[in-house]
């Protein structure tokens, strides 16, 4: 019974070796000479202006969430576009497939217009 799990054990050990060996090898071979230049904070070649923990405006997050939301909804158009020839090939499904996509795009447009009217896309 346990001999069935031996290939899994070998797979885990080889995977761990492939993951840990480069890190261990880099730590053993690399030179350890820290100086002030290596330990300084890096931000485009100059010292940072202010603390990195400053709070962002809520509008930034709102626009980011809206972008992700509409981006993911647009991604649902790709499966429909890939089977478009099959949809249009059968007459009884042709009108249903077209109406279904019109409803989806309509809901998407209504959501976009709602966000626009509420001022979620305005940046002041």
What is the pLDDT confidence band of residue 47, given thresholds at 50, 70 and 90?
Answer: low
Among 31, 56, 51, residue whose Cα is nearest residue 41: 51
Q: In the chain, pLDDT over 90 holds for what percent of residues?
A: 26
Stated pTM of the model: 0.50
What is the residue extent of each domain of the chain? Answer: 2-39, 58-117
Secondary structure string (H, E, C) spanning 21-59? HHHHHHHHHCCCCCCHHHHCCCCCCCCCCCCCCCCCCHH
Residue-wise pLDDT tens digits, 70-109: 888 888 888 888 888 888 888 878 888 888 889 999 998 9
Choose between 14 and 120: higher pLDDT.
Answer: 14
Residue-wise pLDDT tens digits, 57-75: 777 888 888 888 888 888 8
Choose between 119 and 29: higher pLDDT.
Answer: 29
DSSP letter assigned to residue 4: G
Coil, strand or helix: which one is 15?
A: helix
| Separation of alpha carbons 60 and 68, rounded Å | 12
| Separation of alpha carbons 39 and 36, rounded Å | 5
């Amino acid at each position: 019974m346990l001999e069935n799990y031996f290939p899994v054990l070998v797979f885990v050990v080889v995977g761990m070796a492939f993951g840990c060996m480069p890190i261990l090898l880099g730590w053993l071979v690399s030179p350890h000479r820290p100086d002030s230049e290596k330990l300084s904070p890096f931000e485009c070649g100059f010292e940072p202006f202010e603390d990195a923990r400053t709070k962002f405006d809520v509008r930034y997050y709102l626009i980011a969430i809206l972008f992700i939301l509409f981006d993911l909804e647009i991604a649902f158009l790709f499966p429909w576009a890939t089977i478009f020839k099959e949809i249009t090939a059968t007459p009884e499904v042709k009108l249903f497939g077209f109406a279904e996509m019109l409803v989806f795009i309509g809901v998407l447009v209504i959501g976009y217009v709602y966000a626009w009217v509420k001022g979620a896309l305005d940046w002041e």
